[in-house]
Structure 1
């Protein structure tokens, strides 16, 4: 494996490890330490995602005008400062709802600048010694990236499963150290003189140019719309309903972390399989099948499985989510023009995580007045309807990958 790709994967896995800790720590601090109800939990989870609606497109424009590695490193440092602030507050008192909302918003702002810059390093990491790359090499690099992401998240969630024994302070300290190391790896990927601003356009003009480029390509347009649906329905459900189900089983933070680990174990298994077998030449059809499988899994969970059954279903859900994410990211990497790539990545991420913020709020409200299992049933039915609509559209279904050099 090339040294450049190794550095990229180490940096990416470090940010993912911190995220794995965060996805368990934040909701469990809200539920178990602060004692927030379902509606307030939805607001806390949404506070991490809502900044994407404002800052993600600006993050993509910045990564296109400046060196993506430097932008990613600075975002890692910002995340470390956020965790350090909460750690300092924990030294004096238990946080409240307002502080968790502020903490989540700061995390969301830093993440909005990290995501497009970090993902834009894929093409740089996929180059061979002559500076060339192929579509299959990009696909494989995306799969390696997903493996680093899910593997890092799995380690983070495994550490978070020790919440009851170690407490939040030690886990927040681990997040800070890992993010500092990730920032150092990202900085080693800088390419001096190559990513200097070439256009004297305002950020708003750059963003509009990126939106125009995405809209002109039917496959990208349909993919982004589908990701918006996935974020609203699937991620929103995952963020709010899953911790509520774990609390209903009354098995503590370790069981919730086990559900998260099962999900990530499924993502790792699916990513390793794709690494060995490839993504195939019709990734759009694969994404559609993942949507159908997600609908079936949500309906199955809505029937109230046993604790072990829920763990197994979460593992299957993780495998489906990983396959869909890897296929979607590869399509964006290959179809987005190089000079607009970070902006189109940010649009893709905005569709996914911006809608997830709204989905988390909707799931919190619905679960407050109806059973969480009812929320899952509705999500499954909507997913089935979305599958039918996108399958008949055709643009995404007909995407074909060749193997030409770039």
Structure 2
């Protein structure tokens, strides 16, 4: 494995490990350390998400104006400072709701600048001895990136499960350490002259330029719309309906955790499979098939499977979700022009996760007035409709990847 790729994966897995810890630690601190009620817990969770969504497009614009390796490294240092500050406040017994809200906002701000800059470095990680990477090598690097992401998050979640034995100080210290290590790995990928010359443009102009570029490209336009649909229908349903189903089975939090682990296991299996077999010469067709499989899985779950059956279906759901995400991110890396890449990545991520928040709200309303299984059925039907529309359009379906290798 080339040294540049090793550095990129080290940085990416470090940031993902810290995220896995954060996903568990933040709500756990709110519930057990500060003893917040459910409504205030929602405020804390939203404090991380909202700044991320508001600033994500600006993060993409900054990574296109400056060296993305430097931007990603500075964002890692910012996250490390956030966790270090909370560690100091915890030692002084001063953690409260306002402190957690400020902590969440700072995490969201740093994450908004980290994500597009970090993903922009795929092309540098794919190069070998300065030679421009082939399409196949870029696809493989994207798959390695996703394995680092899912694997790092899984390790972070496993470390967070030791909360009662290691304590909050040790886990916050781990976050600070891995983020500083990630920053060192990412900053080593800096290149001379990587900054952009168009520094006279205002941020909103750069964002509009990126939106215009994505809109003019039929494949990127169709792919972004499809990812918005996935966030609205699939991620939204997953976030809301899955815990409701687990509660309906009467098995408690342990069963819900098992469903989550099954989903993560599916993502890892799919990513390893793509690493061994590649993403194929027609990734657009692969995304379409993933959409069809998702529709079938949603309909199957809506029929009310057994407890074991739901675990198996969640594993399959994770595999399909990982395959679709890997293929989509590979297409973005290959088709986005270099000078617009960070902005188009941020647009892609904004479409996916911004619509997920709306999807979670819609799924909650529908589940409140109907039933969780009915919500899943409608999600499956909508997925079939989306499959037919995208297949009929044909832009994504006709994407071809060269077989050449460097």
TM-score, L = length of structure 2: 0.89
1:50 is paired with a residue of what secondary structure?
helix
Query: Cα 1:294–1:180, aligned 2, differ >3 Å: closer, same or farther?
Result: same
Structure 2: how far apart are the matches of 1:115 and 1:259? 27
Structure 1: how far apart are the matches of 2:315 and 2:223? 24
TM superposition shift of 1:114: 0.8
TM superposition shift of 1:337: 0.8
1:298 alignment counterpart: 298
2:320 alignment counterpart: 320
Structure 2: how far apart are the matches of 1:109 and 1:126? 28
2:192 alignment counterpart: 192
Post-superposition CA distance 1:163-214 (Å, at most 9, x none): 4555555434332322222112111111233325444211111111111111
Query: Cα 1:101–1:393, aligned 2, differ >3 Å: closer, same or farther?
Result: farther
Contact 1:63–1:117 (8 Å) recurs in 2: yes
Contact 1:42–1:361 (8 Å) recurs in 2: no
* 2:246 is the counterpart of 1:258: no
Contact 2:4–2:127 (8 Å) recurs in 1: no
Post-superposition CA distance 1:212-243 (Å, at most 9, x none): 11111101000000111111222223333334
* 2:73 is the counterpart of 1:73: yes
2:272 alignment counterpart: 272
Higher relative CO (Cα under 8 Å, sequence separation at least 6) belongs to 1
Structure 2: how far apart are the matches of 1:24 and 1:389? 38
TM superposition shift of 1:158: 2.1
TM superposition shift of 1:88: 4.8
CA RMSD of superposed structures (Å): 2.8
Query: Cα 1:334–1:17, aligned 2, differ >3 Å: closer, same or farther?
Result: same
Query: Cα 1:303–1:118, aligned 2, differ >3 Å: closer, same or farther?
Result: same
Which sits farther off after the overlay, 44-53 or 58-67?
Answer: 44-53
Alignment of structure 1 residues 37-186 onto 2, 5 Å: 37=38, 45-88=45-88, 90=90, 92=93, 96=97, 101-163=101-163, 165-166=165-166, 170-186=170-186
TM-score, L = length of structure 1: 0.89
Point out where structure 1 has 5 or more consecutive residues left out of the alignment.
none
Which sits farther off after the overlay, 348-357 or 3-12?
Answer: 348-357
2:348 alignment counterpart: 348
Post-superposition CA distance 1:76-132 (Å, at most 9, x none): 122223334444555537754x66554443322221111110011011111122422
Structure 1: how far apart are the matches of 2:250 and 2:101? 25
Contact 1:28–1:253 (8 Å) recurs in 2: no
Query: Cα 1:103–1:230, aligned 2, differ >3 Å: closer, same or farther?
Result: farther
* 2:244 is the counterpart of 1:281: no
Query: Cα 1:174–1:240, aligned 2, differ >3 Å: closer, same or farther?
Result: farther
Structure 2: how far apart are the matches of 1:32 and 1:385? 44
Query: Cα 1:251–1:180, aligned 2, differ >3 Å: closer, same or farther?
Result: farther
Point out where structure 2 has 5 or more consecutive residues left out of the alignment.
none
Structure 2: how far apart are the matches of 1:133 and 1:349? 24
TM superposition shift of 1:257: 3.8
TM superposition shift of 1:151: 1.1
2:223 alignment counterpart: 223
Alignment of structure 1 residues 357-372 onto 2, 5 Å: 357-367=357-367, 371-372=371-372
Structure 2: how far apart are the matches of 1:336 and 1:120? 10
2:281 is paired with a residue of what secondary structure?
coil
1:20 is paired with a residue of what secondary structure?
helix
TM superposition shift of 1:277: 1.1
1:400 alignment counterpart: 400
Structure 1: how far apart are the matches of 2:80 and 2:139? 31
